[in-house]
Chain A
Amino acid sequence: MTFQTALGLSVPLAVSIAAFASALGLGKMGAAAMEAIGRQPEAAPKIQLAMIIGFAFIEALTIYALVTMFVLQTKIS
């Protein structure tokens, strides 16, 4: 197995695992935020801001995997 083959197999897998995990995190967070807004509709803007910032933190982890993929992609071919 050349290292190109190894990269070609593992890089998409890495991105998909990262996306899977952060999708779970995002779903949990979104559900909690929606529930909070449902309980207290007048606090919606504050909850939304906190939710979006939290989304950004979780999403950043997937983006790191994506950036790593772009870096390694040039080495495959």
Chain B
Amino acid sequence: MRFLLDIVNTAEAGGVPFLVNLVSAAEEGAGHPKGPPELPNIVTVIYDQFSSAGFAQFLHHWENVFFSLLIALFLGTLCHFASRKPQLVPKGLQNFLEMIVEGLSNFVCGILGEEGKKYVPFLGTLFIYILCMNLFGLVPGMKSPSSSINTTAALAITVFAYVQYTGIRKLGVLGYLDHFAGRPRDLVGIMLVPLMFPLHIISELAKPLSLSLRLFGNIMGEDVLIAVFVGLGVSILAFTNLPLGVPIHFPFVFLAMLTSAVQALVFAALSTIYFLMMFPHEEH
């Protein structure tokens, strides 16, 4: 409640257009360039109150890492409690988690085939982790770590490295180079090698770039949209000087839930397809 009041007060006092002012006060205080508006979260509120304290500055600096670790901790604890006393006939939490794991396993194996079993833990974790990160921004006082390019780039680089490693393991070094050269088998193929080689390298490097930018842009876009509409709702009732707002951002929360799920699915599905492209395949 306190930070909402702060927002109203700053909007009243400054006399500047409110939407610009929604940028968390912490950011302005630190002299950072103004970015797009974002909702206040726990870390920015703490930083606002104790901006000179060391721990608050530390938290503010590692904001996204803090929330990512929070999510990892949450997921780890959940799985620990669900699998502490495994039963043959699962019920309750264990049943729910087994349903998710089975669904993910079917999804990955449906694309990769039988040998895809090995990659289910990695790709499934990716899906669940990204889904939780995306949805975390909708919890009041929390922030989506995936609305920062650093988080999504880290995930995309992990996928990139694992895919290349799998390619070298599955195809061998020569087969890997052969794959990059476009599998030349006749004279025309060999003549096309100088063209195919840079093309393949660029397309490999474009994969992590587009993966990270897609997730980052979508999640940041939805968060900014919600922040703008919350700001609009608060500024409508700003004349009452009460910490109130009209919840006109409400429909966009459902839109954000949809895009969160779709983006998590897309990230996992595209990673799976990148694995599939590295598998040795017959003539096509």
Name A residues whose Cβ lies closer than 8 Å to a Cβ of B.
Answer: 49, 52-53, 55-56, 59-60, 63-64, 66-67, 70, 73-74, 77
Contact = CB atoms under 8 A, between A and B. Distances in A.
Query: By CB atoms of chain B within 10 A, which of A49, A55, A63, A74 has the most?
Result: A63
Nearest 6 CB-CB pairings of A with B: A63-B217, A56-B266, A60-B214, A67-B217, A74-B33, A66-B217
B213 interface: yes
A70 B35 contact: yes
A77 B34 contact: yes
A63 B221 contact: yes
21 contacts: A49-B269, A52-B266, A52-B269, A53-B270, A53-B273, A55-B262, A55-B266, A56-B262, A56-B263, A59-B218, A60-B213, A63-B214, A63-B218, A64-B217, A66-B217, A66-B221, A67-B216, A70-B35, A70-B36, A73-B36, A74-B35
B220 interface: yes
Main secondary structure of the interface of B (DSSP, over half): helix
Query: By CB atoms of chain A within 10 A, which of B263, B265, B266 has the most?
Result: B266
B241 interface: no
B158 interface: no
A49 B269 CA distance: 8
A56 B35 CA distance: 26
A53 B34 CA distance: 34
Given A60-B214, A66-B217, A77-B34, 6 more contacts: A53-B273, A55-B262, A56-B263, A63-B214, A66-B221, A67-B216
A56 B217 CA distance: 12
B102 to A, nearest CB: 15
A74 B33 CA distance: 7
A60 B266 CA distance: 11
Nearest to A62: B217
Contact of A60 (B34, B35, B210, B265): B210
Interface string B13-45: 000000000000000000001111000000000
A59 to B, nearest CB: 7
Nearest to A50: B269
Interface in B230-284: 262-263, 265-266, 269-270, 273
Contacts of B273: 53
Contacts of B210: 60
Contacts of B34: 74, 77
Contacts of A55: 262, 266
Nearest to B33: A74
A64 B213 contact: yes
Contacts of A59: 214, 218
B217 A52 contact: no
A70 B38 CA distance: 13
Contacts of A67: 213, 216-217
Nearest to B263: A56
Nearest to A49: B269
Query: By CB atoms of chain A within 10 A, which of B33, B217, B218, B270 has the most?
Result: B217
Contacts of A52: 262, 265-266, 269
B36 to A, nearest CB: 6
A77 to B, nearest CB: 7
B63 to A, nearest CB: 18
A53 B213 contact: no
A52 B167 CA distance: 26
